[in-house]
Amino acid sequence: MISDCPVYIETMTGHLEDVRRIEIQESNIIGDANPARLVIKADKNELFRSKTFRQS
């Protein structure tokens, strides 16, 4: 059931956006302490406002 759930990212303005793609990117820097990074890319469609958003 969880495999069918949509995945969203909460933006700085409190809107939720669909996750478009998740990428693993290698670092090209020799000796980097972080050899890879996880990058989450979202559509900029601001579907709706998050109910849990609190601006500080």
Looking at per-residue pLDDT, the higher value among 5 and 24 belongs to 24
Query: Residue 3 pLDDT more than 90?
Result: no
Give residue-wise pLDDT tens across range 11-32.
888 888 888 899 999 888 888 8
- The pLDDT assigned to 54 comes to 67
The answer to whether the CB of 15 falls within 8 A of the CB of 44 is no
Helix (H) or strand (E) holding 56: none
Query: Residue 2 pLDDT more than 60?
Result: yes
Lookup: tokens for 9 = 């990212």
Question: Mean of the pLDDT values across residues 32-51?
Answer: 81
If one counts every other C-beta atom within 10 angstroms of the C-beta of residue 16, the result is 19
Looking at per-residue pLDDT, the higher value among 51 and 21 belongs to 21
